[in-house]
């Protein structure tokens, strides 16, 4: 008789044969028993599928599940994995990253202890070429909990990647989908939709996830079509919020998240990829936000004085909002690039 699966770990796989074994090894060595590893081979043209088959053959006692499908993108791959998942909880690991041996156990114990819907751990950003740790993030107090009816604005400060978290499976199995998900910022949109079904979010004060910064990622190879598709997808997220008849407060939070990821993260990528057309993209994004997510301009959650009083809300983003409103963002980006290049550091916004 099969044991009950506690956690299903979903691993989308595409063109990562260089990193895949390190990732899978870290999952096979997890200290929590009764887990399953669901690997989604998303039409990868390299040797990834054979690597997965070799692992499944070698570790027959482990719950390794392989889905081999045509290439449809990471969003669809994750959805396929969610539908197949048997665990009470679900986690995501990117196949070019790796995790601490207690990654699943500590997140599982934390989410159980706090009766939470999502549990978040800290992570390290690591240069894939040099192995240098670029930053350590989200190592928040384990006694800290976000309750969506009391302090929902605190989610603005949570990193929007899916991989340093564990989720109650029912949250993901019942969430609404985007029909045409984007190639970039898809994690942010996925998580923002998942928040609609969550009531409590807890934290583990340990850096358990290792995120590899690899040249040539989607945000580093940005195309004009990506920006337009992403803008359309974010409007679909807003429509889902409207269909759920969320409070004005949650719509304001959504607008703050849109500002952070479109005005800051996306524009930083544009600045690195297409300086010549930066002003054009800058004005288009600003008009897009002002038309569709205008709450960002007056939101107290992005007010410097508010963030100083409420330490859980991101002060750095509030400062950037101020810079944006003073029309000094390009100057800031020039200074940012200069400082990070000269000091050989990486400041994540």
pLDDT of the chain along its 349 residues, tens only? 357 999 999 999 999 999 999 999 999 999 999 999 999 999 999 999 999 999 999 999 999 999 999 999 999 999 999 999 999 999 999 999 999 999 999 999 999 999 999 999 999 999 999 999 988 999 888 888 999 999 999 999 999 999 999 999 999 999 999 988 998 999 999 999 999 999 999 999 999 999 999 876 555 556 778 899 999 999 999 999 999 999 999 999 999 999 999 999 899 888 888 888 889 999 999 999 999 999 999 999 998 888 877 766 677 888 888 898 888 888 888 888 777 777 666 656 5
The upper half-sphere exposure of residue 182, i.e. CA atoms within 13 Å in the direction of its Cβ, equals 26
How many angstroms separate the CA atoms of 90 and 98, rounded? 16
Q: Kindly state the percentage of the chain with pLDDT values over 90.
A: 72
Same structural domain, 330 and 250: yes
Structural domain boundaries enclosing 335: 219-343
Q: Which of 179, 197, 215 is the last residue of a domain?
A: 215
- Mean pLDDT over all residues of the chain? 91
Q: Which of 198, 215, 232 is the last residue of a domain?
A: 215
Per-residue pLDDT of 290-304, as tens digits, reads 999 999 999 999 988
| Contact (CB, 8 A) for 13 and 44 | yes
Find where tokens 């337009």 sit: 228
How many angstroms separate the CA atoms of 52 and 230, rounded? 32
Cα distances (Å, whole numbers) of residue 251 to 136, 159, 237: 30, 18, 11
- Predicted TM-score (pTM) of the model is 0.93
Residue 226 counted as domain residue = yes
How many angstroms separate the CA atoms of 333 and 12, rounded? 33
Same structural domain, 140 and 89: yes
CATH of the domain at 135: 3.90.550.10
Same structural domain, 75 and 168: yes
Q: Which of 181, 215, 249 is the last residue of a domain?
A: 215
């Amino acid at each position: 008789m099969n044991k009950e699966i506690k956690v299903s770990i979903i691993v989308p796989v595409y063109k990562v044969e260089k990193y895949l074994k390190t990732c899978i090894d870290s999952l096979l060595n997890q200290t929590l028993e009764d887990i399953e590893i669901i690997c989604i081979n998303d039409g990868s043209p390299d040797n990834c599928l054979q690597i997965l088959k070799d692992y499944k053959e070698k570790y027959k006692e482990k719950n390794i599940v392989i889905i081999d499908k045509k290439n449809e993108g990471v969003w669809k791959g994750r959805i396929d994995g969610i539908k197949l998942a048997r665990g009470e909880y679900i986690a995501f690991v990117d196949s070019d990253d790796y995790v601490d041996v207690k990654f699943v156990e500590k997140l599982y114990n934390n989410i159980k202890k706090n009766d939470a819907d999502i549990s978040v751990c800290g992570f390290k950003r690591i240069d894939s070429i040099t192995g240098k740790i670029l930053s350590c993030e989200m190592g928040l107090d384990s006694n800290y909990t976000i309750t969506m009816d009391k302090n929902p604005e605190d989610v603005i400060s949570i990193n929007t990647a899916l991989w340093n978290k564990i989720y109650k499976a029912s949250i993901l199995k019942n969430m609404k989908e985007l029909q045409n998900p984007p190639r970039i910022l898809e994690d942010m949109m996925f998580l923002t939709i998942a928040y609609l079904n969550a009531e409590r979010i807890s934290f583990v004060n340990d850096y358990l996830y290792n995120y590899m910064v690899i040249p040539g990622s989607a945000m580093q190879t940005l195309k004009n079509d990506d920006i337009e598709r992403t803008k359309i997808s974010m409007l679909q997220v807003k429509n889902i919020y409207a269909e759920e008849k969320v409070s004005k407060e949650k719509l304001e939070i959504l607008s703050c998240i849109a500002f952070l990821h479109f005005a800051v993260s996306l524009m930083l990528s544009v600045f690195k990829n297409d300086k010549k057309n930066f002003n054009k993209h800058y004005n288009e994004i600003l008009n897009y936000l002002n038309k569709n997510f205008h709450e960002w301009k007056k939101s107290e959650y992005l007010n410097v004085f508010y963030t100083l009083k409420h330490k859980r809300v991101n002060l750095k983003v509030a400062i950037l909002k101020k810079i944006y409103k003073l029309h000094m963002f390009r100057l800031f980006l020039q200074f940012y690039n200069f400082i990070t290049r000269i000091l050989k550091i990486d400041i994540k916004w």
